[in-house]
Structure 1
Amino acid sequence: MSSKKNILITGGAGFIGSRLALRLLSEGHAVTVLDNLSPQIHGDDPSQSPLYRSIADKVRFLKKDVRSRDALRAALAGCDTVVHFAAETGTGQSMYQINHYVDVNIGATATLLDIFANEPHEVKRVVIASSRSIYGEGKYFSKELGIVYPPHRSIEDMSAGDFRVKVPGSSDLTLVATDEDSRIHPSSVYGITKQVQEEMIMTVCPSLGIEPVALRYQNVYGPGQSLSNPYTGILSIFANLILNGKPINVFEDGAESRDFVFIDDVVAATTLAITEAAAAGQVFNVGSGVPTDVRTVAETLNAKLGGHSPIKVSGNFRVGDIRHNFADLEKARQLLGFSPEVSFDEGIERFCLWVRSVGPTSSDYAGSIKEMRAKGLLK
């Protein structure tokens, strides 16, 4: 593959896509962005969105819906590489906007592949933004059974305050890193759509002479992440609650954990997936490789932002949420040469510096919680 590429980023005005676009431009690549500038991400006046403004005059930009065949065809003109970010995100929202998530995430991917199969194009590589959500619960070790992949937790157990993952015939389980060969058993509609996206790309592209690469991102955070979107990551949600002096409701018992990976590390891994020959045909985890529990996240943000928000560990839980998952990064190290460089402590410090600079933002987080309760998805 040539050193300088013409790259289409669908969803390229979003949090990850815009940062990736700037990185690729700095390395001399040409970038086209296709994005509908969704108000949920960019606000009611998307032309003033900081994410959009950061790339607006630097890339070839098309404000179009990724589900449109004509829009995709126009965006693909002259491009040899596609990074497919455009998707609806959020596990909770996916459980009641089912048709929409399937339409955007799976339907648009099908249209993209259909163009590759039936129309002239110059695309040689496609990088699909997959997700840790396709794994569902992570990988565990049982003294009695060895490596196990627990089923989804029951609503009955969690309603009784028992949030542990369990496997019949086993004593308490020990969490271990989830590798790319781990069981795929998503616990949300969002996870299912990401699994289907990934499998479609990895199955169809090789038959058309296109190199596919799938990146299973863990929980991405950092400067630029929307503080107003109530369906974004918990770091942004908690930070904005603290800035507004509101209490933080930590679900379950606060010991549930996630692998939080800083935006700069995600951009670095994605750039390698675009440029490295060894990436072709491969699936990679992208994370920090370290689990951090949610109560620690809330307490750390409160301290670093100088906040005084009460932290309540409520026992509430969302249907479809997992307990634990963190990434095994050995394959990415070996084949991509990727190792995360930003620790959680450093990343949170940099994130909080940015949060303080932009100040509190209005958000309908309370409304999103009310909506999930009304749908029976928050207990």
Structure 2
Amino acid sequence: MTTKILVTGGAGFIGSEIVKQLSAHDEYEIRVLDALTKQIHGNNPEKSYLFQSIKDCCDFIRGDVRDFTTVQKALEGVDVVLHLAAETGTGQSMYMINQYSEVNVMGLSNIFQALSLKGKSNTIRKVILSSSRSVYGEGKYQCPNCGVVYPRGRKTKDMMQGDFTMHCDKCNTVLTLIPTTEDSKTTPNSLYAFTKLSQEMMIQTMCPAMDIDYTIFRFQNVYGAGQSLKNPYTGILSIFSSLLLDNKDINIFEDGKESRDFIHVKDVASAVIKSINTAVSNGEIINLGSGIGTSVIEIAETVKRIYGSTSNLNVTGDFRIGDIAHNVADTQKARKLLDFTPSISLQEGLTEFCKWVLGQETDNSRYEQSLTEMERSGMFIRK
């Protein structure tokens, strides 16, 4: 018996990888709902790499999750919903507030509204949400005086003076990063993060009320082939690649020591798919990451070396309001519930990514434009 799966945002970076991996299993019938937005897919979206990679793997509906009638149509006969459709990017979210709220919050609301109208004819047995580590804000730290703390964020005045370290909100002592567990306090410090936390809370409220199982994944920094090279608001790998291939200098924000937990898109997709029929994942929030922090300057140096670029890496002290200092996920729950261990190392993944990029069109013209937009809105500070 086949399981009919709706993947919202299934032509996106992560969604398309999930669709490709699902299509390798005969027991799944796949439907995709995606708006094919210009920011992700460019001016000819139906010719984009991502759309071309999934168009023959699914029943495709081009439409917006904000359109209730379209959502109703997409849900017909579906057993499982993988909800990935969302606006992404912390910086852009701070001045495109209505756009992020409408797509991320009202888009999911449309799904539950449609399901509520189905009543007993509803066939959905599980909803799987792609959330984000951004809901943790700065994450989990150790203070020598106050113990485990969850700092609200860094102060702009400190960052203006070149101090990018994390200080305790209570005693102002410099903190030590520790892996963020799923039970950590959530302190979103961007509108994007707020909308993802809102999605989580909606899932946790509505799914039990409708007798639907759910699993919520908090993705760390997902990367890999297929990552948008046209969206200047997300993905340092894409931004760095475009500049390095043109041998243009790279502006490394802050002190370059800010770190992220990178996880390959293929590993993320396999874990999400495994959760579809893994009962112990029901009702759980699960981190998906490598559990290893890598600094931005390390990433830039590695990618520069792979490309053989002559670009200069300039650590400028510029910074974006709302950017976190560090993040490293505690991945014990993923290992326990899903037997999840990343199969692709960062070096292997970066090499594969760079090889893919060399076969694609890159465009860095919108990157400076994006910084100008953020600067105009007060969200980007040049030193």
Q: Normalised by the shorter chain, which TM-score bucket?
A: over 0.9
Match of 1:354 in 2: 356
Give 1:216 shift: 0.2
Give 1:359 shift: 5.2
Q: Is the 8 A contact 1:151 1:166 kept in 2?
A: no
Match of 2:138 in 1: 137
What stretches of structure 2 of length at least 5 have no aligned partner?
none
Q: Is the 8 A contact 2:41 2:230 kept in 1?
A: no
Q: Say which SS state the counterpart of residue 218 (structure 2) adopts.
A: strand
Residues 175-211 of structure 1: CA distance to partner in whole angstroms, max 9, x if unpaired? 1100100110011000000000011012210111100
Q: How far apart are the structure 1 equivalents of 2:172 and 2:372?
A: 37
Percent sequence identity is 46
What stretches of structure 1 of length at least 5 have no aligned partner?
none
Kindly report which structure 2 residues correspond to 1:35-50, keeping only aligned pairs within 5 A, or say none.
Answer: 35-50=34-49
Q: Say which SS state the counterpart of residue 288 (structure 1) adopts.
A: coil
Greater alpha carbon shift after TM alignment, 188-197 vs 162-171 = 162-171
Q: How far apart are the structure 2 equivalents of 1:302 and 1:250?
A: 13
Match of 2:3 in 1: 5
Q: How far apart are the structure 2 equivalents of 1:37 and 1:133?
A: 24
Q: How far apart are the structure 2 equivalents of 1:207 and 1:89?
A: 28
Q: Say which SS state the counterpart of residue 278 (structure 1) adopts.
A: helix
Match of 1:101 in 2: 100
Scaled by the length of structure 1, the TM-score of the pair is 0.97
Q: Is the 8 A contact 1:243 1:307 kept in 2?
A: yes
Greater alpha carbon shift after TM alignment, 325-334 vs 336-345 = 336-345
Do residues 151 (structure 1) and 152 (structure 2) align?
yes
Match of 1:216 in 2: 218
Q: Say which SS state the counterpart of residue 106 (structure 2) adopts.
A: helix
Q: Is the 8 A contact 2:34 2:85 kept in 1?
A: yes
Kindly report which structure 2 residues correspond to 1:70-109, keeping only aligned pairs within 5 A, or say none.
Answer: 70-109=69-108
Match of 2:338 in 1: 336
Match of 1:303 in 2: 305
Give 1:358 shift: 2.2
- Amino acid of the structure 2 residue aligned with 1:334: K
Q: Say which SS state the counterpart of residue 126 (structure 1) adopts.
A: strand
Q: Say which SS state the counterpart of residue 65 (structure 1) adopts.
A: coil
Residues 255-280 of structure 1: CA distance to partner in whole angstroms, max 9, x if unpaired? 00010111111111111122211111
Give 1:171 shift: 3.1
Scaled by the length of structure 2, the TM-score of the pair is 0.96
Q: Is the 8 A contact 2:219 2:288 kept in 1?
A: yes
Q: Is the 8 A contact 2:9 2:33 kept in 1?
A: yes
- Amino acid of the structure 2 residue aligned with 1:51: L
- Amino acid of the structure 2 residue aligned with 1:228: K
Match of 1:166 in 2: 167
Kindly report which structure 2 residues correspond to 1:235-314, keeping only aligned pairs within 5 A, or say none.
Answer: 235-314=237-316
Match of 2:63 in 1: 64
Q: Is the 8 A contact 1:144 1:170 kept in 2?
A: no
Residues 312-346 of structure 1: CA distance to partner in whole angstroms, max 9, x if unpaired? 10101101111011110001111111111111111
Q: How far apart are the structure 2 equivalents of 1:26 and 1:271?
A: 11
Greater alpha carbon shift after TM alignment, 340-349 vs 181-190 = 340-349
Q: How far apart are the structure 2 equivalents of 1:378 and 1:360?
A: 24
Q: Say which SS state the counterpart of residue 41 (structure 1) adopts.
A: helix
Match of 1:27 in 2: 25
Do residues 121 (structure 1) and 122 (structure 2) align?
yes
